[in-house]
Amino acid sequence: MLKKTRILFTIPNFDTAGSGKSVYDLVKNIDRTIFEPEICCSRRDQGLFFKEVEKLDVKIHIFPTKTHYRPWITFLFRVLKIRKFFKQNKFDIIHSWNWSSDISEPLAARLAGIPFVYTKKAMGWGGNRYWTWKSKLSTKIIVVNRDMIHQYFTKMMHKVELFPLAIDTNYYKPSSIDYSISKETYFKKDDFVILSIANLVEVKGVEILFEAIQKINNDQIKVLIVGKDTNDYGTQMKQRYASNKNIIFAGKQLEVRPFLQMADLFVIPTKDEGRREGIPNAPLEAMATECVVIGSNVSGVKDILNEFPAYLFEASNVDELAKKIVRVKNMNDNERNKLAKDMREQVIKEFSIEEFLKKHEKLYLSIIK
């Protein structure tokens, strides 16, 4: 019997929805006749999603695979503890989903003689020398959008693989299921519902969407925000727009499909600043569910809407977003349904979990040859 390739997927926690879902999908669907996946995170989460991760029937390690740099005099000693953990468990590959530029994890893997792969999921480099060091210590680097390649990795192209993040299009699909939550839970049946799913941080730009809705000034158009909204920015947004009865904050939800099913339009208004995302999952889920998507013309979002440039708007341009919302609202049912079906087909073609798995499995096998 051939020895299975042991892959350790490291991730700080499963609070970050996009990365957590990607690791979950990889571990759940990877060919178990060839690979033996394990997970390592720095703490045992209490959230509902972590409970789903625990059902995957794989070993979950609770161990910090990165450490603070200071004090520098003891840094190497702490890295050697991580190296010992890697060596004792005899992993064949370490695949990191750690979002930061930390070098302790790849250094520990290099010292253990274990190939190290990391996924660069978010945009941002900022002249940070640690990103360069992390990349040099890595065996392979997975990027999730095209902009990352020419912005960050032109001098190490031999290490770079472009693997856009993916979703399960058999899970996210048009459905006739009657969920306990429906449009009538929040709105009237004839309302035009715009959905945005995001854990609220400033770069998500939800206020751009709110301002566009206020500019349109049509009480039939409603906005539903799903995502964690208990931080300072989320609290600020709820307070600022509390008087606008056309905007509803539904909070964080483990199951988003009922919300996708009730929506007439999905908007992702990400700003072109700060820690921008690489490939956001939520608009892919919306498109797969046959919900029309409008998004800002920023890295990642423009990869998703590459075949639908008319549905991109200049980041932070309230007027342009308002015009595109009105355009979609004024479509007849046949036009909107045709567009929605085309968007789903594009997700199946470029962002399906099947292609995502094939690319990762091929990469892992090429590393251990």
Q: Give me the pLDDT at residue 1, please.
A: 55
What span, in angstroms and rounded, lies between the C-alpha atoms of 291 and 339? Answer: 9
Peptide bond into 71 cis (omega under 30): yes
- For residue range 77-112, list pLDDT tens digits in order: 999 999 999 999 999 999 999 989 999 999 999 999
- For residue range 13-24, list pLDDT tens digits in order: 887 556 888 899
- For residue range 208-217, list pLDDT tens digits in order: 999 999 999 9
Write down all domains in the chain, each with its CATH number in brackets: 5-166+352-368 (3.40.50.2000), 183-350 (3.40.50.2000)
Burial group, residue 87, by CB count within 10 angstroms (0-12, 13-18, 19+): middle
For the chain, give the secondary structure using H, E and C. CCCCEEEEEECCCCCCHHHHHHHHHHHHHCCCCCEEEEEEECCCCCCHHHHHHHCCCCCEEECCCCCCCCCHHHHHHHHHHHHHHHHHCCCCEEEECCCCCCCHHHHHHHHHCCCEEEEECECCCCCCHHHHHHHHHCCEEEECCHHHHHHHCCCCHHHEEECCCCECCCCCCCCCCCCCCCHHHHCCCCCEEEEEECCCCHHHCHHHHHHHHHHHCCCCEEEEEECCCCCHHHHHHHHHCCCCCCEEEEECCCCCHHHHHHCCEEEECCCCCCCCECCCHHHHHHHHCCCCEEEECCCCHHHHCCCCHHHEECCCCHHHHHHHHHHHHCCCHHHHHHHHHHHHHHHHHHCEHHHHHHHHHHHHHHHHC
- For residue range 140-181, list pLDDT tens digits in order: 999 999 999 999 999 999 999 999 989 889 999 998 788 888
Q: Which of 168, 157, 10, 37 has its CA nearest to residue 95?
A: 10
- pTM of this structure: 0.84
